[in-house]
């Protein structure tokens, strides 16, 4: 059963150390969250899975980790200074502020009043001064998307690798948007992480590549554990397209609060590389950019046969890490009735995403022999590099199982007095709750099997 209750997820996240409200001891900063000991593992596992699928398992994508602070010229030429805004409305009765495009009935969502201001554009970018003197001119932005620094590094990457179009540049990192109405837990926040690929293709082949990436990204989410019946493809209507997009398909997930965007796959055409091409005194569309034949620093490539210069088109799958975490928690969360009428909470995450891969539990707390044995097993499993393995020296097996069911640990390994005699341990499976006795020698193979 998929949870439809955000409260359960929020409560689990706080109780077990996945996600906390940021600045909580001072009352909290709205729309900003911190990831605790388990949250950071889950998030890192998700990002690693993305990185592997984008870079290690392909030969046509390179990685990048560019700066968060982004110069104003970049975000001027990208169009963000002028157009990256939401329509903001104030209610004259209760002073509540909200996004006009989220409430189309011309009523205040808080008090129902129709006495509202006209919508006005509110730019979502955070601005900050760079350097010791803040005279208002030397400002930069916290990037609102990771994509722009991929475009500004296009030539660096092309010149320092052997890539030719079609190829991609992938990046994972923080992005910042001063959202008018953050909320729905980590769904809409002001500081978040994105996993973005900019895939450069020849104009004319862009639509085929767009279809290819929509299919790839859909399958990848399903592989992470999203039930296909909860994931829909939505062709974004022309009137809702971002300023840079010719066509966008959103992957919409059935979040606890409704069907909303998890990832957007946009055909950004040559908009960005065109507008960042050097020797352009002002923003120009690509046809005009191409007239500038004598530029040697243009963000363009040469056709290998005709030697004509062209500005590649870009297909951009852009996924939110935080929305991914929320979706995967929602998919994995189960409450199961047990035979004795008790209930257990299970987080049935795919093992590659689980924050803890295995817990080694000595039967008796602080018993030196058992703990030493458990420590050696932990060391062996940890050295395989498949993720975090922990030694759970609590001495309460039942409690240990419950805790690890709830945080999604695929297996618990119990070390008892029999272990000292015959070198066997008990493996308990999270999903089936079944236990089996195996020799320590077989353990590594058993452990590796859960990731297949």
CB atoms within 10 A of CB 153: 18
334: its two tokens: 């189960």
Q: Which is nearer to ligand ATP, 66 or 262 (CB)?
A: 262
Q: Which is nearer to ligand ATP, 236 or 363 (CB)?
A: 236
CA atoms within 13 A on the CB side of 182: 18
Closest by Cα among 367, 355, 425 to 394: 367
Report in angstroms how near the CB of residue 260 gets to ligand ATP at its nearest.
6
Q: Which is nearer to ligand ATP, 143 or 373 (CB)?
A: 143
Report in angstroms how near the CB of residue 138 gets to ligand ATP at its nearest.
27
Q: Which is nearer to ligand ATP, 108 or 262 (CB)?
A: 262
Q: Which is nearer to ligand ATP, 62 or 179 (CB)?
A: 179
Name the residue whose CB lies closest to ligand ATP.
Answer: 320
Report in angstroms how near the CB of residue 192 gets to ligand ATP at its nearest.
4
Report in angstroms how near the CB of residue 328 gets to ligand ATP at its nearest.
13
Helix (H) / strand (E) element for 14: namely: helix 6-16
> Which spans in 201-252 are helix H?
206-224
Q: Which is nearer to ligand ATP, 10 or 440 (CB)?
A: 10
Q: Which is nearer to ligand ATP, 323 or 378 (CB)?
A: 323
Report in angstroms how near the CB of residue 73 gets to ligand ATP at its nearest.
21
Report in angstroms how near the CB of residue 240 gets to ligand ATP at its nearest.
9
Q: Which is nearer to ligand ATP, 167 or 244 (CB)?
A: 244
Report in angstroms how near the CB of residue 210 gets to ligand ATP at its nearest.
14
Q: Which is nearer to ligand ATP, 77 or 323 (CB)?
A: 323
| CB of 87 closer than 8 Å to CB of 99 | yes
Report in angstroms how near the CB of residue 177 gets to ligand ATP at its nearest.
5
**DSSP code of 426?**
E
Residues facing 436 on adjacent strands: 427
Residue written as tokens 């030697």? Answer: 307
90: its two tokens: 């104030």
407: its two tokens: 């945080």
Residues facing 217 on adjacent strands: none
Measured distance CA(303)–CA(314) in Å, rounded: 16
Measured distance CA(370)–CA(372) in Å, rounded: 5
Question: Which residues of the chain form contacts with ligand ATP (CB under 6 A)?
Answer: 177, 179, 188-189, 192, 194, 261-264, 318-320, 322-323
Measured distance CA(358)–CA(70) in Å, rounded: 41
Report in angstroms how near the CB of residue 85 gets to ligand ATP at its nearest.
11
Report in angstroms how near the CB of residue 253 gets to ligand ATP at its nearest.
9
Ramachandran region, residue 274 (left: φ > 0; alpha: ψ -120 to 50; beta: rest) = alpha
| CB of 298 closer than 8 Å to CB of 279 | yes
Measured distance CA(144)–CA(387) in Å, rounded: 31
Q: Which is nearer to ligand ATP, 170 or 359 (CB)?
A: 170
Report in angstroms how near the CB of residue 195 gets to ligand ATP at its nearest.
9
Which residues, other chains included, contact 134 with Cβ-Cβ below 8 Å and sequence gap of 6+? none
Residues 257, 261, 262, 264, Cα dihedral to 10°: 180
Q: State whether residue 48 is helix, strand or coil.
A: helix
Measured distance CA(314)–CA(334) in Å, rounded: 40
Q: Which is nearer to ligand ATP, 195 or 397 (CB)?
A: 195
- Could you write out the DSSP letters of every residue in 51-101? HIIIIIT-SSEEEE---SEEEHHHHHHTTHHHH-EEEEEEBTTT--EEEGG
């Amino acid at each position: 059963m998929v949870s439809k209750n955000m409260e359960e997820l929020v409560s689990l996240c706080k109780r077990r150390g996945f996600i906390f409200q940021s600045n909580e001891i001072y009352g909290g900063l709205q729309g900003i969250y911190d990831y605790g000991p388990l949250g950071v593992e889950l998030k890192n596992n998700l990002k690693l899975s993305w990185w592997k699928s984008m870079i290690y398992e392909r030969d046509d994508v390179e990685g990048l980790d560019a700066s968060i602070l982004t110069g104003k010229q970049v975000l001027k030429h990208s169009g963000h200074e002028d157009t990256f805004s939401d329509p903001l409305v104030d209610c004259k009765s209760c002073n509540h502020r909200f996004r006009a495009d989220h409430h189309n009935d011309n009523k205040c969502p808080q008090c129902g009043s129709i006495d509202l201001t006209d919508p006005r554009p509110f730019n979502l970018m955070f601005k900050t001064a760079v350097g010791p003197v803040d005279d208002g001119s030397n400002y930069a932005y916290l990037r609102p998307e990771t994509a722009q620094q991929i475009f500004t590094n296009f030539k660096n990457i092309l010149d320092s690798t052997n890539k030719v179009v079609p190829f991609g540049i992938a990046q994972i990192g923080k992005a910042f948007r001063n959202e008018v109405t953050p909320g729905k837990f980590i769904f809409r926040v002001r500081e978040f992480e994105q996993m973005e690929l900019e895939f450069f293709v020849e104009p004319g082949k862009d639509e085929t590549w767009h279809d290819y990436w929509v299919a790839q990204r859909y399958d990848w989410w399903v592989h992470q554990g999203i039930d296909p019946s909860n994931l829909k493809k939505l062709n974004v209507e022309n009137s809702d397209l971002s300023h840079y997009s010719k066509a966008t398909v959103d992957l919409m997930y059935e979040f606890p609060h409704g069907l909303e965007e998890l990832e957007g796959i946009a055909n950004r055409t040559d908009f960005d590389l065109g507008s960042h091409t050097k020797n352009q005194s002002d923003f120009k569309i690509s046809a005009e950019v191409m007239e500038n034949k004598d530029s040697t620093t243009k963000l363009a490539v040469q056709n290998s046969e005709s030697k004509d210069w062209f500005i590649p088109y870009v297909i951009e799958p852009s996924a939110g890490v935080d929305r991914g975490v929320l979706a995967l928690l929602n998919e994995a969360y189960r409450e199961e009735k047990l035979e004795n009428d008790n209930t257990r909470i299970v987080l049935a995450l795919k093992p590659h995403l689980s924050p803890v891969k295995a817990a080694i539990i000595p039967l008796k707390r602080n018993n030196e022999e058992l703990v030493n044995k458990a420590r050696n097993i932990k060391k062996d499993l940890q050295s395989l590099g498949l993720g975090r393995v922990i030694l759970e020296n609590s001495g309460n097996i039942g409690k240990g199982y419950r805790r690890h069911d709830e945080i999604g640990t695929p297996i618990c390994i119990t070390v008892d007095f029999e272990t000292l005699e015959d070198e066997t341990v008990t493996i308990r499976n999270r999903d089936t709750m079944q236990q089996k006795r195996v020799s320590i020698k077989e353990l590594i193979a058993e452990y590796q099997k859960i990731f297949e």
